[in-house]
Chains A and B, each alone.
Chain A
Amino acid sequence: MKQFIAFVKKEFYHIFRDKRTMLILFGLPIAQILIFGYVVNNEINNARIVVFDPSRDQATREITNKVIASGYFELAEMVETASGLEKSFQKGDIKAALIFEPQFSEKLARENIAHVQVIADASDPNTANLMASYIQAIINTYTAELNAQSAKNATIITETKMLFNPELKSAYMFVPGTMALILMLLSAMMTSISIAREKEMGTMEVLLVSPLKPIQIIIGKVMPYMALSFINACVIMVLGTFIFNVPIRGSIVLLMSESLLFILLALSLGILISTVAKTQEIAMFISMLALMLPTMLLSGFIYPIENMPGWLQVISNIMPARWFIVIIKNIMIKGSGLGHIWIETLIMTGMIAAFLLLSIRKFKIRLE
């Protein structure tokens, strides 16, 4: 036991004496959460739009005003002809165009129907789709107001309740997502690299011939990273709560235990990677390629899983972060207890067991 403690101490020294790495380990979560909070924002703000309005009457002016006042769009220009649009789109100056037909109000009054066209720059299809939906919704509200008088009694009143997040804040999505991403990447990457390093340098042999058991070596290697990751998890939660006002509605103890479980999962994945990687370079590339983009894209962090094609939804099941994100969202935002998330918890536990078993089978204690 004394030897083991000495070994763990050595590992801690190894990590803490490298100031630059320490800075990055703690700077990364803070930078990520600020970037996701302020920069990577799915909301559309001030998309530049041109308006071509040959009628210039009350209805078109009102619609234009509503579109601009929505905050989603910023008026780039009122153009006199629709011919220069192509050029502006190509330069990337504008994202959308709103084109009214001539005599808009007259047609609306006389024929009860008028046309308006929205052109969206769909080289970014997701944004284009959102912009078109927003404009459609704005015009729908406008027509509903127009018709309010004539169809008063025939209107079905829709009462909408936005559960858990009435202001539709995006922080409720990215705080759990960032937490999963950071914990996964840092824990798995750090563990796999530091074990691969011993192998590459040849010091693993030294450790293996020491009286320490292989399992003690691995646990000793992993412990400092577990501590670091846990601190990181706390930092992210504190930032999320105090800067982005994400509530913690459920039990903090449960939240912490689940985070610890996820850290264990990431660490065991890191151990598994280190058993197949001979050098740090390989360990780094495997952890980065297998974890960075897949965790961002396949875990429901940025893109909802329900929207993906069926086969990809099946693949997403093997992403550990997917389950953790569901768990933290449930605990923090919905306030659910273990009763609602036991399946996810069980899956994560199963994954840990599987990764550890695989690692034990692959771990070589003898030289080749």
Chain B
Amino acid sequence: MRTLIFILQKEFIQVFRNKTMLPIIFIMPLIQLLILVNAATFELKNVSLCVIDFDLSASSRQLVAKFDGSPFFEVNKASFRYTEAENFILSNKTDLVLTIPAGFEKNIKTGQGARVQVMIDAVDGMAAGLINAYSTQIIQSFNRESGANAGLLLRPVKNILVTSSFWYNPELDYKAYMVPGILVILVTMIGMFLTALNIVREKEIGTIEQINVTPVRKIHFIVGKLIPFWVIALVELTVGLVIGVLLFKVPIVGSLWLLYAFAAIYLVIALSIGLFFSSISSTQQQVMFVAFFTMITGILMSGIFTPEESMPGWARAINVINPFAYFMRVIRLVLLKGSGFSDIWHEFAAISLLAILMLGLAVKSYKKRS
């Protein structure tokens, strides 16, 4: 036990005396959290719109005003030539071109079926789909009003009113959703990379042999290496959560104890992966690329940006052994929806099993002799 305490002491001193790494470990990730959380939204705003109005009538102006009045569109270009409008799209100055042909107003008044043309830059397919839906809505509502004014309706129009309720996050505040996601990445990155680099660095410099010839037992050495980074990662998680709650209004609906219990087990896996990689590598460069590859692949598959349900079957099958995916799901379930232990015991069981397996593998692969 005393040996362990000395090893821990040594490790902590080593971490805290490294004045260049300290801000990188503690400050850079939090700055990232502060900035990046604001970026992650698909909510459509400020779609720039170019109008080609050949009609120049009261009706066409009304239609344009309706677009301009919607929160999604911003009419910032007008033209009378297709080629010019096309050029705007080619140089990304406009996302949508609305063409109103001559005779638009006359056709509405006489009921001859007016036409408009909407041209959308569809390189971003999803945004284009939304832009199309919103512009159709605006045109339809303009249509209803103008049709009613012109007295063309034979019968009153039927309407189905759709009300949408957004549970757990009524204002659709995506920040509350992204904070947990980015936290998972940061905590994993810190835990896994620090462990991996630390041990392989001792190998590369040769100091590991000095430790190997001491009577320090293998298990003490490993535990002594893991605990500091385990603590640092949990501190990081705590600071991140405080920032999330204070600045981004992340609700903590569920139990924090439950979350920390889960995080504690999860980190054992992340650190063991780091340890395992460091055992099978001989240089820092190697270990970094292996760890980097694992992390970026695991994180992207974990459903940070996109829901797991829309992934194909094989990806979900892989996610059964992807610890990142479990943590990503649980941190959101607990913080945002208040799921209790009975809702997530599957995840607990799975992650505990993975932790035992991974730790076992890591301990086995570490050899005191070279």
Residues of A at under 8 Å CB distance from B? 18, 20-21, 24-25, 27-28, 31-32, 35-36, 38-48, 63, 89-92, 95, 108, 112-130, 132-133, 135-137, 139-140, 142-144, 146-147, 150-151, 153-170, 172-173, 185, 189, 193-194, 197, 201, 278-282, 284-286, 288-290, 292-294, 297-298, 302-304, 306-309, 312, 315-316, 326, 329-330, 333-334, 336, 340-341
Contact = CB atoms under 8 A, between A and B. Distances in A.
Contacts of A114: 159-161
Given A125-B173, A307-B41, A41 B116 contact: no
Contact of B38 (A172, A193, A312, A340): A312
A141 to B, nearest CB: 9
Nearest to B294: A24
Interface residues of B, number: 120
B2 to A, nearest CB: 29
Given A119-B167, A153-B113, A306-B46, A43 B160 contact: no
B17 interface: no
Contacts of B36: 293-294, 297-298
Contacts of B333: 90, 92, 123
Given A125-B173, A140-B140, A115 B163 contact: yes
Interface stretch (B5-13, B148-156, B231-239): B148-156
Nearest to A160: B118
A163 B122 contact: yes
Contact of A306 (B47, B155, B173, B339): B47
Identify the 4 closest CB pairs spanning chains A and B, nearest first. A168-B125, A154-B147, A122-B166, A153-B111
B339 A160 contact: no
10 contacts: A43-B126, A92-B337, A113-B159, A117-B162, A126-B42, A128-B172, A129-B172, A144-B140, A156-B146, A160-B132
Given A24-B290, A42-B126, A163-B122, 11 more contacts: A38-B311, A39-B306, A41-B310, A43-B310, A92-B329, A113-B159, A117-B162, A123-B176, A136-B164, A137-B136, A312-B38
Nearest to B44: A307
Interface stretch (B86-94, B209-217, B241-249, B260-268): B86-94
B312 A130 contact: no
B320 interface: no
A333 B90 CA distance: 10
Q: Is the interface of A mostly helix, strand, loop or mixed?
A: helix
Contacts of B39: 297-298, 303, 308, 312, 316
A154 B119 contact: no
Contacts of A282: 20-21, 24
A117 B163 contact: yes
Contacts of A116: 160-163
A132 B35 CA distance: 28
A175 to B, nearest CB: 11
A120 B165 contact: yes
B286 A18 contact: yes
B24 A39 contact: no
B289 interface: yes
B223 interface: no
A151 B153 contact: yes
Interface string B70-110: 00000000000000000101111001000000000000100
Interface string B126-156: 1111101101110110110011001011111
Contacts of A303: 39-42
Interface stretch (B50-58, B296-304, B348-356, B359-367): B296-304
Contacts of B120: 160-163
Nearest to A45: B310
A322 B289 CA distance: 24
B189 interface: yes
B292 A123 contact: no
Contacts of B301: 35, 39-40
Contact of A165 (B35, B43, B128, B142): B128
B93 to A, nearest CB: 10
Contacts of A90: 333, 337-339, 343
A173 B42 CA distance: 14
Interface of B: 20-21, 24-25, 28-29, 32, 35-36, 38-48, 87, 89-92, 95, 108, 111-130, 132-133, 135-137, 139-140, 142-143, 146-147, 150, 152-170, 172-174, 176-177, 182, 185, 189, 193, 197, 201, 204, 281, 283-286, 288-290, 292-293, 296-297, 300-301, 305-307, 309-312, 315, 329, 332-333, 336-339, 343
A162 B284 CA distance: 49
Contacts of A39: 300-301, 306, 311-312, 315
B139 A173 contact: no
A364 B298 CA distance: 38
B164 A118 contact: yes
A156 B142 contact: yes
A244 to B, nearest CB: 12
Given A123-B332, A168-B126, A294-B36, A154 B137 contact: no
A132 B42 CA distance: 13
A114 B160 CA distance: 5
A159 B117 contact: yes
Given A165-B123, A278-B20, A281-B197, A40 B300 contact: yes
Contacts of B162: 116-118, 135-136, 139
B137 A112 contact: no
Chain B CB within 10 Å — which of A48, A122, A166 has the most?
A122
A334 B90 contact: yes
Given A90-B337, A140-B136, A312-B35, A41 B311 contact: yes
Given A20-B290, A312-B39, A340-B90, A156 B201 contact: no
Contact of A143 (B91, B158, B176, B193): B158
B286 A118 contact: no
Contact of A157 (B25, B35, B115, B125): B115
A248 to B, nearest CB: 14
A128 B113 CA distance: 36
Given A118-B164, A130-B42, A161-B117, A281 B292 contact: no
Nearest to B150: A154
Contacts of A155: 113, 143, 147
